[in-house]
Chain A
């Protein structure tokens, strides 16, 4: 009998959490991927579009079955500035909640561990999550201050502590924002997992990840949390000096898929950024997912039909797609 993560964790505790992740995620056991991955691009001109319908279309196109799963929705909630669009829009989070419930998930919770601000609930209020998502406080877990367990192996570190809510989820849905990032090039579905790292251990910001290396950390978190799906909010993204100080950039899309490197690579192409220019995607390519355009089954819209060049900071301008 095989023991699945979901069946085993409730009776296991921290040491097994560590052992499981260590076994499943050990870099030495990552085999090169040979297949293809589906990524769906659906148009959504504004946040008042029928986002539930759009998400259903994208999820169906990717063939995702979530019946009976415990799902953690992980938005990108970082800071609030009314002048720009830092966070995953509340309407995307609310729509995802409705969609995954309607698809038969056993449980859907929302969790985030903002990297800068201590007062997560105040941030959620500023971003209108608390006012517009019914019973938000009951559904929400502050991952910065959740109970945490050790997971063995994280880049050159012996272990990393991660929140139990994330470790016990059957599926983590990265509700990322389509943004440029001044250090990584772009912050999309994979980088969004920085918010899974607890501030209670690593602080605000989670500076440990910078010292490990931003690109390595992005890849390592995606390696640990392999059971994931992405819905990237590109309805209005951010260009320029992202992820905080950039300017709004409407792209009018939601990008979805189970292969997070493929989703991120597709987002890059939509943004006019060569995914090969992003180190973390080079590192993840062929081990955690596929990034070559020829190996991605594009569902819904084509990249060409929705592409809109995002302004890039100087250090990434050389990676502008022709």
Chain B
């Protein structure tokens, strides 16, 4: 059990209720969300949610930190944490709406038209829509994976969540297709593209693990899962190991031992480690929309 990890998180919460990427640093939404999920049900998680809620912007998107005035991919984490807490009020509703309206700029009509007439050389299918790190930029694997998890989980609470299910299903469908479209030849994922100038890009363990989270419930992932098993043998990245542990648990893979190390001063790694080693990984269980 990740008791030491949870103790570490309890001891490093900032006075404003958030966590920095490292102890003593300014609060950011990303480490705060993971730490709050790891400490779900405890008072520190409530204080964290109060802070996160205060960072939601008028358009429904979440800013990544108090002083960064832009809606951000971490909106997906805001929605995921709202669902974990059973909070389906206005912050959740607006967050879902923001995610539904967010897409990488490469899928804009003008880019699709330019690609069709040969003015734009695209390395991907521009009719598909993933999610960007921030508005007015392109789609990338990690924000797409987190957005898919958030929207699929929102759909699980259809009765209470009052989500626009038809629109949501369609957005998830083309988001999943986008993620599959950028899958590397070896079955894993680089950070966004599968090749540059015709040369294949290598897969990364952390992005491959996250893509597997986003594609839960999708068929035809066996090659990707086998690749991820091999990636788990490389122990150099604690972050990759932490996300791979969650991906394996969500996909029912129990043949890869990933022992829990000691807590690191990296809050994200420590929190994601704790989520994967305990029951917190269930906050990312999304399934498929069928």
Interface residues of A (CB under 8 A from B): 14, 81, 116-119, 121-122, 125-126, 142, 145-150, 161, 182, 200-205, 207-208, 210-211, 241, 244-245, 313
* Contact status of A118 and B206, CB under 8 A, knowing A182-B196, A313-B197: yes
**B68→A148 contact, CB < 8 A:** yes
The distance from the CB of A315 to the nearest CB of chain B, in whole angstroms, is 10
Residues of B near A204 (CB, < 8 A) are 133, 140, 142, 191
Report the nearest A residue to B200, measured CB to CB: A245
Residues of B near A121 (CB, < 8 A) are 238, 266
Residue in B30, B73, B138 whose Cβ sees the most chain A Cβ within 10 Å: B138
**B67→A14 contact, CB < 8 A:** yes
Residue in B20, B22, B132, B237 whose Cβ sees the most chain A Cβ within 10 Å: B237
Q: Pick 20 A–B contacts, CB within 8 A, sort by A.
A: A117-B204, A118-B206, A119-B240, A119-B269, A122-B238, A122-B240, A142-B21, A145-B28, A148-B26, A149-B67, A150-B68, A201-B72, A203-B137, A203-B143, A205-B192, A207-B140, A208-B133, A210-B137, A210-B138, A211-B137
Say whether B108 faces chain A, with CB atoms less than 8 Å apart.
no
Q: How far is the CA of A84 from the CA of B138 in the complex (A)?
A: 28
Q: How far is the CA of A208 from the CA of B26 in the complex (A)?
A: 23
Besides A121-B238, A203-B134, 14 other A-B contacts (C-beta < 8 A): A14-B67, A81-B202, A117-B206, A121-B266, A122-B240, A125-B236, A147-B26, A148-B68, A200-B21, A202-B134, A203-B137, A204-B191, A205-B140, A205-B191
Q: How far is the CA of A205 from the CA of B64 in the complex (A)?
A: 16
Residues of A near B26 (CB, < 8 A) are 147-148
Q: How far is the CA of A148 from the CA of B20 in the complex (A)?
A: 11
Residue in A14, A121, A313 whose Cβ sees the most chain B Cβ within 10 Å: A121
**A116→B191 contact, CB < 8 A:** yes
Interface size on B, residues (CB 8 A): 40
Residues of B near A119 (CB, < 8 A) are 206, 237-240, 269
Q: Which of A81, A118, A211, A245 contacts B105 (CB 8 A)?
A: A211
* Contact status of A118 and B137, CB under 8 A, knowing A161-B68, A205-B191, A241-B197: no
**A207→B137 contact, CB < 8 A:** yes
**B68→A201 contact, CB < 8 A:** yes
Q: Which of A122, A208, A313 contacts B137 (CB 8 A)?
A: A208
Residues of B near A14 (CB, < 8 A) are 67
Interface residues of B (CB under 8 A from A): 20-22, 25-26, 28, 30, 64-65, 67-70, 72-73, 105, 132-134, 136-138, 140, 142-143, 191-192, 196-197, 199, 202, 204, 206, 236-240, 266, 269
Q: How far is the CA of A245 from the CA of B199 in the complex (A)?
A: 8
Q: How far is the CA of A148 from the CA of B69 in the complex (A)?
A: 12
**A245→B196 contact, CB < 8 A:** yes
Q: How far is the CA of A202 from the CA of B137 in the complex (A)?
A: 9
Q: Which of A117, A145, A245 contacts B21 (CB 8 A)?
A: A145
* Contact status of A182 and B197, CB under 8 A, knowing A119-B206, A150-B67, A203-B134: yes
Residues of B near A205 (CB, < 8 A) are 140, 191-192
Q: How far is the CA of A241 from the CA of B240 in the complex (A)?
A: 27
**A122→B239 contact, CB < 8 A:** yes
Report the nearest B residue to A159, measured CB to CB: B69
Residues of B near A202 (CB, < 8 A) are 133-134
Residues of B near A118 (CB, < 8 A) are 142, 206, 239
The distance from the CB of A84 to the nearest CB of chain B, in whole angstroms, is 12
* Contact status of A201 and B25, CB under 8 A, knowing A14-B67, A119-B239: no
Report the nearest B residue to A146, measured CB to CB: B25
Q: How far is the CA of A149 from the CA of B68 in the complex (A)?
A: 8
The distance from the CB of B4 to the nearest CB of chain A, in whole angstroms, is 19
Residues of A near B239 (CB, < 8 A) are 118-119, 122
Q: How far is the CA of A148 from the CA of B204 in the complex (A)?
A: 27
Residues of A near B197 (CB, < 8 A) are 182, 241, 245, 313
**B199→A241 contact, CB < 8 A:** yes
The distance from the CB of B170 to the nearest CB of chain A, in whole angstroms, is 25
Q: How far is the CA of A30 from the CA of B238 in the complex (A)?
A: 45
The distance from the CB of A204 to the nearest CB of chain B, in whole angstroms, is 6
Q: How far is the CA of A321 from the CA of B204 in the complex (A)?
A: 38
Q: How far is the CA of A246 from the CA of B70 in the complex (A)?
A: 36
Q: How far is the CA of A278 from the CA of B72 in the complex (A)?
A: 33
Residues of A near B269 (CB, < 8 A) are 119
Q: How far is the CA of A182 from the CA of B240 in the complex (A)?
A: 28
Report the nearest A residue to B202, measured CB to CB: A81
Q: Which of A116, A125, A150, A207 contacts B138 (CB 8 A)?
A: A207
Q: Which 8 A-B pairs have the closest CB atoms?
A: A203-B133, A145-B21, A122-B237, A119-B239, A207-B137, A119-B237, A147-B26, A122-B236
Q: How far is the CA of A154 from the CA of B158 in the complex (A)?
A: 43
The distance from the CB of B234 to the nearest CB of chain A, in whole angstroms, is 9
The distance from the CB of A80 to the nearest CB of chain B, in whole angstroms, is 9
Report the nearest A residue to B190, measured CB to CB: A116
Residues of A near B138 (CB, < 8 A) are 207, 210-211
**B25→A147 contact, CB < 8 A:** yes
Residues of A near B133 (CB, < 8 A) are 202-204, 207-208
Q: How far is the CA of A147 from the CA of B65 in the complex (A)?
A: 10
**A145→B137 contact, CB < 8 A:** no
Q: How far is the CA of A147 from the CA of B24 in the complex (A)?
A: 10
**B199→A203 contact, CB < 8 A:** no
The distance from the CB of B78 to the nearest CB of chain A, in whole angstroms, is 15
Q: How far is the CA of A122 from the CA of B243 in the complex (A)?
A: 14
Q: How far is the CA of A255 from the CA of B238 in the complex (A)?
A: 36
